[in-house]
Structure 1
Amino acid sequence: MREPARLAILGMGAMGQSCLEGLRERLPRTQFAFLEREHRIHRLSEETSAQGFSDVTELLDWQPDLVVECAGHSAVREAVPEALRRGVDVVIASLGVLGDDQVKMTLDEAAESSGARLTVVSGAIGGLDALRAGMLAGVDSVVYEGRKPPSAWRGSAAEELCALAQLEHAEVFFEGSARAAAAQFPKNANVTAAVALAGVGFDSTVVRLIADPHAKENSHTVDVEGAFGRLRIVLTNHPLPQNPKTSWLAALSVQEAVLRRVEAIGF
């Protein structure tokens, strides 16, 4: 396995910092840089010993071999296309934005123009290889259910749909398509998007979002029916220690995607 000489991370929130720490341990010969807001660069550079940039063009002039996005939907819209056009492979964590057909088309065109490759991570869900396999025979329905304690839904549109603080029993506050869920709950859309991309798409994937006062952790359930039979995927995730609103498994899935790319092609 040959390591990338240079790897750049877009966004140094809890997930970005966790990925940098984990990848540095596993790729000790790789140089790291990151993209962040200017006022955070000095402190983060000192804490991580990585070079910081506030401008994506300057970051790409640093000539990374691989870019890893951990910065949210705006970074996928603004920074990722430029990296792909430069011929740099990109791994993205913020899959929910792919529910916007215009964004997806822009990314596809940018990658095609240079031959760069875009890799999406599985995030906080697993077992999607079985869903993709089932698609070869035909899938009739895919239903995703996301269940979290009320506190995990604070700061989202759920606050307008149910009384989070007063809940005594689990409440389904959203049921609709994966596309509608991604648009209405952008910060909670990545698992939904991963399921939609692996299966029947954003318009045909049914999503139920639940606030449960008895839940201690976030859980994800995917029910699939098709010609192959029936499939149920259930995961319960611990939060990332640095940020309780981020799944630990989601951060680990970014590292796994990078390491898989390194093992597959080298640099």
Structure 2
Amino acid sequence: METKTLAIVGCGRLASIVLQALDKGLLSDYKIIGTYSRTFEKAESFANFIQQSEHGGACTPCHSLEALLDLKPDYIAEIASPDSLKELIIPALKNGSSVITLSIGGLADPEFYELVKKTASEHGTRVHIASGAIGGFDVLRTVSLMEESTVTFDTTKGPRPLRHTAVYDEAIESETRKVFEGNAVEAIKLFPRQVNVSVAAALASTGPENVNVSITSVPDYVGDDHRIEIKSQQIHAVIDVYSQTAQIAGWSIVNTLRNITSPIAF
């Protein structure tokens, strides 16, 4: 199989997992040719690592998205934020680059989602949604195709990741409280980084405006617990994933990349 070219947007902690996978020889079907981050030094550090890796090669750190797109990568792994995805995705798809993303919140707007679909279709490119910290997309999509269904998404987390959001007050440091209840569109507006996974589940099922989301804050809670429940006339399924850290999200990018080129995809 011909080696695919790959670029990375967002050179933070989760993106470093892609570098770990590269170093372990888990991405042998790819050549990472470019990096971009809000801080150029991070992009440069990633590029240096790639160039020094036994399984890496020449890699260009970029000062802008435009410079990254000029490299014409086959794929771009976006591991930054919903705002970064919105800025990147249309130019990338038009450029001939397919996108693998964790920042699904950027697709919560139905009009923008339809524009992304249309652009990808017109330019022969694709958007691959990584599973992040959850799973069960296959079940959600299958049941939604099969018959009418309802979906709920309940998250439990500690107060720390909520400290710079509109729902925070000091009381949640010492008491358990449901801090949000609404649909996935409303959730992503309030929590652009914390509930990307709810939008992913919504897109795989009944749509962001139809999935009921709740977030409960528990004092001293470590990690996140995401519980998705789908009910239809014939099916009742629960996907419940607890993750102590966010590492599973980074590794889901690696798994998506491997599925793209694998003769057998899971």
TM-score (norm 1): 0.87
Report deviation, 1:36: 1.7
Contact 1:2–1:262 (CA under 8 A) maintained in structure 2: no
Contact 1:121–1:253 (CA under 8 A) maintained in structure 2: yes
| In 1, Cα distance between equivalents of 2:116 and 2:186 | 21
Letter in 2 for 1:8: A
Are residues 1:223 and 2:232 paired? no
Alignment of 1:74-223 (within 5 A): 74-159=83-168, 163-165=171-173, 167-168=174-175, 170-213=176-219, 215-223=221-229
* 1:99-120 deviations in Å (ceiling 9; x for gaps): 1223323322321221111111
| In 2, Cα distance between equivalents of 1:129 and 1:101 | 21
The secondary structure found in structure 1 opposite 2:146 is coil
1:73 matched residue in structure 2: 82
Report deviation, 1:15: 1.3
The secondary structure found in structure 1 opposite 2:156 is strand
* 1:219-261 deviations in Å (ceiling 9; x for gaps): 011121102231111111121xxxxxxx111111111111101
Are residues 1:257 and 2:256 paired? yes
Report deviation, 1:42: 3.6
Letter in 2 for 1:232: V
Q: What percent identity do the matched residue pairs reach?
A: 26
| In 2, Cα distance between equivalents of 1:183 and 1:120 | 19
Q: How many residue pairs align between the two structures?
A: 254
Letter in 1 for 2:217: A
Distance 1:134 1:67, change over 3 A: same
The secondary structure found in structure 1 opposite 2:208 is coil
Contact 2:72–2:96 (CA under 8 A) maintained in structure 1: no
* 1:143-200 deviations in Å (ceiling 9; x for gaps): 110101112322223315x7332x23x2111001111101111111211011101111
Over the aligned positions, Cα root-mean-square deviation in angstroms equals: 2.1
1:248 matched residue in structure 2: 247
More helix by share: 1
| In 2, Cα distance between equivalents of 1:38 and 1:195 | 31
Are residues 1:26 and 2:35 paired? no
| In 1, Cα distance between equivalents of 2:96 and 2:219 | 47
Letter in 2 for 1:164: I
Contact 1:23–1:255 (CA under 8 A) maintained in structure 2: no
1:3 matched residue in structure 2: 3
| In 2, Cα distance between equivalents of 1:214 and 1:43 | 34
Report deviation, 1:55: 1.6
